[in-house]
């Protein structure tokens, strides 16, 4: 069975600074990995996903994430934070042989300060 | 416009009174899923459906039922709601499950309060 751990329930970054959100997973088979963003009072929106192929994945809004199998990690980064990046971010994993089930992390709330 | 529509958006009800939250998608997606979101726990999958008449349990199915009689609809049924089912619920769909090259589309959520 898969599981996801997001380090840090709250992250505060200055506008223009690097955004780094950490995600570690456990999976007994090759995983599919996802990052979602949730703005207040809205549903979730996919930022990016890794299934196979290139381990550095680029997503929307300038975000990217790198799949590191040896570290079982899928950290999300953005070089320069914008005020509009304030939201809650969720890492999720599903297993490639049972991709109906999706496991989410507990989420990281990002606050961007001027 | 591609949409996942949930109804109602908000509901306050009492323990034991059966309720149904409807979910409908207009994208002809095979896969649909229900999640609940609770503070500090993220989203947890309740049930999912790979296609019509094919449903399976997620991580927290107790106290819930679903049905998938037609492709567009995937209602969530609480036969005898209890206060621990007070939560924010999301329905989602995608063409062929989480492995799809297209993202899951989420509804706007249904906030349930069970007194």
What pLDDT digit, counting tens, does each position of B66-81 carry?
A: 999 999 999 999 999 9
DSSP code at position A58: E
Distance from the Cα of B86 to chain A's closest Cα (Å) equals: 17
- Which among A102, A105, A107 is the top mutation candidate for probing chain B, defined by the most B β-carbons within 10 Å of its own β-carbon? A102
Residue A52: DSSP 8-state = S
> Chain A residue with minimal CA distance to B94?
A100
Residues of chain B with pLDDT under 50: none
Token representation of residue B83: 């206060």
| Residue B27, phi-psi category: left (phi > 0), alpha (psi -120 to 50), beta (remainder) | alpha
pLDDT of residue B11: 96
Token pair belonging to A69: 């199998």
- Inter-chain residue contact A94 with B98, CB threshold 8 Å: yes
B107 CB within 8 Å of a chain A CB: yes
Segment B34-51, tens digit of pLDDT? 999 998 888 999 999 989
**CA distances from residue B113 to A91, B55, B84 in whole angstroms, order as listed:** 27, 26, 9
Average pLDDT, chain B: 91
- List per-residue pLDDT tens for chain A, 114 residues long: 678 999 999 999 999 999 999 999 988 777 888 999 999 888 888 899 998 889 999 999 999 999 999 999 999 999 999 999 999 999 998 876 656 677 889 999 999 999
Q: Are residues B76 and B46 in contact, defined by beta-carbon separation less than 8 angstroms?
A: yes
Is A104 in the B-facing interface, judged by CB distances under 8 Å? yes
* Calpha distance B58→B36 (Å, rounded): 11
**CB atoms closer than 10 angstroms to residue B53:** 10
């Amino acid at each position: 069975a898969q599981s996801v751990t997001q380090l840090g329930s709250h992250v505060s970054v200055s506008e223009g600074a690097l955004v780094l959100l950490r995600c570690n997973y456990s999976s007994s088979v090759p995983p599919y990995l996802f990052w979602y963003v949730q703005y207040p009072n809205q549903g979730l929106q996919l930022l990016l996903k890794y299934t196979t192929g290139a381990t550095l994945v680029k997503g929307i809004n300038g975000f990217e994430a790198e799949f590191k199998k040896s570290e079982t990690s899928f950290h999300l980064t953005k070089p320069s934070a914008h005020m509009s990046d304030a939201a809650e971010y969720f890492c999720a994993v599903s297993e490639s042989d049972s991709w109906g089930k999706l496991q989410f992390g507990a989420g990281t709330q990002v606050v961007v300060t001027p | 416009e591609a949409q996942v529509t949930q109804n109602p958006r908000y509901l306050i009800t009492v323990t034991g009174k059966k309720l149904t939250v409807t979910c409908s998608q207009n994208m002809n997606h095979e896969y649909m899923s229900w999640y609940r979101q609770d503070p500090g726990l993220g989203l947890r999958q309740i049930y999912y459906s790979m296609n019509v008449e094919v449903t399976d349990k997620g991580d927290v199915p107790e106290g819930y039922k679903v049905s998938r009689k037609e492709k567009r609809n995937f209602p969530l049924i609480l036969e005898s709601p209890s206060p621990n089912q007070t939560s924010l619920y999301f329905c989602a769909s995608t063409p062929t499950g989480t492995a799809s090259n297209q993202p899951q589309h989420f509804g706007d959520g249904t906030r349930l309060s069970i007194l």
